[in-house]
Amino acid sequence: MPREGFVSSITRQSEDFPGWYNDVVLKAELASYSPVRGCMIIRPYGYSVWESMRDELDRHIKRTGHQNVYFPLFVPRSLLEKEAEHVEGFDPQVAWVTHAGGKELDEWLAIRPTSEALIAEVVKDWIQSYRDLPLLMNLWNNVVRWELRTRLFLRTAEFLWQEAHTFHATEAEAAEEVATGLEAYRSVSEDWLAIPVVRGVKSRAETFPGAVYSHAIEAMMRDRKALQAGTSHMLGQNFAKSAGIEFLDRDNQRKAPYGTSWGFSTRMVGATIMAHGDDSGLVLPPNVAPQQLVIVPIFRKEEERAGVAAAIDAIEPALRDVVTPSGPLRYTVDWREESPGFKYNHWELRGVPLRLEIGPRDVAAGQAVLVRRLDRVKESLPLSSLGEQLPLRLADYQAELFQRALDFRAENTHHVDDYEEFKRVLEEKGGFLMAPWCGDAGCEKQINAETGATTRVVPFDSPDEAGPCLVDGRPSERRVLFARAY
């Protein structure tokens, strides 16, 4: 591909959103395809974005008393099958190791689709008394779910994630833990990734296999589809009982502990791309951008280069002292032998929030031109004030990116009252549809089959509002969030 056409050849969102997404992931060098079908290679730029959100979530996890652990990649078949509902939910996606060491294994080993079954079997030796509770564990690992239809970051056969697993003496304590996990995800999504989310409870059909209930956060992408950004599950005593876990409570009675689990994965890299990107490429929140600032030297003659270089050298000590919420300022100086226009396109594609242009005239005036990736707004700043001004500009950028996404969601959230209106609005406008539903699984299945929309969550903040169900007219207590989703 000709270099000058590299950025202009990105598919427009309005023409083909999936095509736009793939172009951005590949051309911004976030990830590439793997020789193994359905798996991806996360490239350094994409892994840096993941590391930033991972590290922020890890801080939340540790602040709330959880400890990181590691469990094996392989799960004996007998353990996975102990919880029938759990294995039924994952069975089509489980990858099995049937041979090793040149012979067939006596018992197949599942490559973990999730770790509940293995953890439940192991911790029964750790939990004997109420004094051993709560047990708060977190794992950073990879899991395998053999997806047939894959898309980079969003749905791959192998992905990276975090899975927290906890055990509690009472149901009330476990319920508090479910809320703790969901709040961690809300904070990372909204405060770190600038992605507003709707919190709520999943329908029975959408609940994690084997769980009593599942809470989730849902985000709206730029194509107005929903993406599940994190889930937190109340497992009750199901997994503990199937594994024979019991403890002696304060009344000297033996009982099974209550469990929870919650997970957050590399699909949030994909969510960040789709929640903020535009036709020029990525638009990254400063908190996760691998580079928050790019400095582009501008000169035509070699003799002008020395003055520009000296000015950049002079401001670098101040730049190195800049501290942002995600650590020291991450910046780079682009001295490549390319035109300024090529460099602008290159860094816009990669979503760098701020660009600083410094040329001979700027040096003479003791200033530089600061350009925002979000809206291309330019301003001149004194070179002497950069150390003070850049943290403020980055904070403003982060806040405005969140507000833009919040406004977009509000503009594309629709209240509908009957099924014909539901189908018309979904087809013509898309977005989030708040609609009455009686809670019947048959109605839910019919809506999905006929429209492609699913119940995303019953929002926590959805007020009591009696009305007839969209499909069968039976009583509905409140509106439910429906959307087409990833």
233-259 per-position pLDDT tens digit: 999 998 899 889 999 999 999 999 999
**Amino acid 278: pLDDT:** 98
**Amino acid 5: pLDDT:** 46
315-341 per-position pLDDT tens digit: 999 999 999 999 999 999 999 999 999
Name the more confident of 117 and 72.
72
Q: Using the predicted structure, report yes or no on whether residue 172 has a pLDDT greater than 80.
A: yes
pLDDT, averaged across the chain: 95
Topology match between the domains 30-276 and 413-483: no
Residue spans per domain, the chain: 30-276, 293-392, 413-483
**Amino acid 83: pLDDT:** 66
126-165 per-position pLDDT tens digit: 999 999 999 999 999 999 999 888 999 999 999 999 999 9
**Amino acid 2: pLDDT:** 40
Q: Are 134 and 167 contacting, i.e. CB atoms less than 8 angstroms apart?
A: yes
What is the pTM (predicted TM-score) of this model? Answer: 0.94
Residues 363 and 314: their CA atoms lie apart, in Å, by 11
Share of the chain above pLDDT 70, in %: 97
What band does 3 get if pLDDT is binned at 50, 70 and 90?
very low
276-302 per-position pLDDT tens digit: 999 999 999 999 999 999 999 999 998
**Amino acid 209: pLDDT:** 85
Which CATH class, in words, describes the domain spanning 293-392? alpha beta
Name the more confident of 209 and 24.
24
What band does 4 get if pLDDT is binned at 50, 70 and 90?
very low
**Amino acid 116: pLDDT:** 87
Task: Please determine, looking at this structure, whether the domain spanning 30-276 carries the CATH number 3.40.50.10800.
Answer: no
Give the closest residue to 357 by CA, choosing from 340, 372, 369.
369
List the Cα angle 256/91/35 in 5-degree steps: 125
Share of the chain above pLDDT 90, in %: 90
Which CATH class, in words, describes the domain spanning 413-483? alpha beta
**Amino acid 82: pLDDT:** 79
Q: Using the predicted structure, report yes or no on whether residue 81 has a pLDDT greater than 90.
A: no
Mean pLDDT of 201-216: 95
**Amino acid 370: pLDDT:** 99
**Amino acid 229: pLDDT:** 97
Mean pLDDT of 46-68: 98
